[in-house]
Amino acid sequence: MSSGERSHSLGSIVERFGGELIGDKNVSVTQVAPLELAQPWHLSFLSQAKYRNQLETTRAGAVILGPEARDLTSLPRIVCTDPYAYFAKVSSFFNPVKIPPPGLHSSAVVASSARIPASASVGAHACIGENAVIGEGTVVSPGCFVGDGVKIGDACFLHPRVVIYHQCIIGDRVILQSGVVIGADGFGIAMDAGRWIKIPQIGRVLIGNDVEIGANTTVDRGAMGDTVIEDGVKLDNLIQVGHNVRIGAHTAIAGCVGIAGSTKIGRYCRIGGAAMISGHLEIADNVTISGATGVGKTITKAGIYTSAYPAEPHHEWLKNAVHLRHLHELAKKIRGLEKQSRKPKRKTK
């Protein structure tokens, strides 16, 4: 246990976050931890049945459980409807983000027309362009670039080396992790006489409130209209969002996903890692796309969609690949056999 960690009684946690407390309310914990690593000063949680065996051996001081698991241990426990969400709230409470003090670092380069409130923090070697607006309590970490005319809302946190190109608009409470690039040119080119001509990208990126974007993710500006990330969207690391894409509110997208230009993704969607989504498509609300799935057509109905081929031993894959190459020929043969089987049979004398 770190000497700097503050202890919290189970009673005070339940008073703050709700839930049913079973056991001694005076038991104190200082941090959260997974079941297999937890020590007596940790609060752990069980959200999936496959980890129940770890509940039997854990050394945690207390656990968070769902109603179906309330009697699986004698440890002090908090029973709630969603243990994982409850754990997330407690972890955020135990581990608040450290906010640097307000003020401008002496090495920051700030245009005279930029508007920065006294409550904002601008770190070393940050650069803020003409007519940029920074919101109350927003943190612009060292090495960030904020272009001309950019507007950033209140209580945002730009981690080191975030780049926001000109005229983009960021809402309130947005977190941009290191290396994020907002508003770079989209991939717009036209072939002319054997050479590519660049098409100017004159739109913007508009980001709503409570959005988080992971490290080294890029969101391209619109070609003519705007690229839009709605409220509550969560983007993992290393995602490519093409020009004029629109991502609906509260959608979550895992790492290494590529979204081609002008695609519209609905609200409350979940997209697994390394999925590839073609351009000019529409994806309905409440769609889940499995990892490594290729999406080449519009999806109009909520549900789970998967196209990734599961891994198998290489020698088995080689045999199956041979059959896949001839699948069309096989389908033609089957159709021929079906057609033949439907012909009336000649009566024998």
Per-residue pLDDT tens listing for the chain (349 residues): 554 578 999 999 999 999 999 999 999 999 999 999 999 999 999 999 999 999 999 999 999 999 999 999 999 999 999 999 999 999 999 999 999 999 999 999 999 999 999 999 999 999 999 999 999 999 999 999 999 999 999 999 999 999 999 999 999 999 999 999 999 999 999 999 999 999 999 999 999 999 999 999 999 999 999 999 999 999 999 999 999 999 999 999 999 999 999 999 999 999 999 999 999 999 999 999 999 999 999 999 999 999 988 889 999 999 998 888 889 998 999 998 888 888 776 666 5
The residue annotated as part of the active site, out of 243, 250, 280, 326, is 243
Q: How far is CA 232 from CA 69, 207, 208, in A?
A: 31, 10, 7
In angstroms, the CA 25 to CA 47 distance is 22
pTM of the model: 0.92
Query: What percent of the residues of the chain are helix, what percent strand, and what percent coil, each to the nearest 5?
Result: 15, 25, 55
d(CA 286, CA 7) in angstroms, rounded, equals 40
Give the pLDDT of residue 1: 54
Q: Indicate left, alpha or beta for 290 from its phi (over 0: left) and psi (-120 to 50: alpha).
A: beta
Instruction: Pick left, alpha or beta for residue 93 (phi over 0 → left; psi -120 to 50 → alpha; otherwise beta).
Output: alpha
Q: Give the pLDDT of residue 2.
A: 52
Question: Is residue 151 within 8 Å of 132, Cβ to Cβ?
Answer: yes
Q: Which CATH class is domain 103-305?
A: mainly beta
For the question of residue 243 being annotated catalytic, the response is yes
- Domain limits of the chain? 8-94, 103-305, 313-343
Q: Which residue has the tokens 């012909």?
A: 343
- CATH superfamily for 8-94 is MurE/MurF, N-terminal domain (3.40.1390.10)
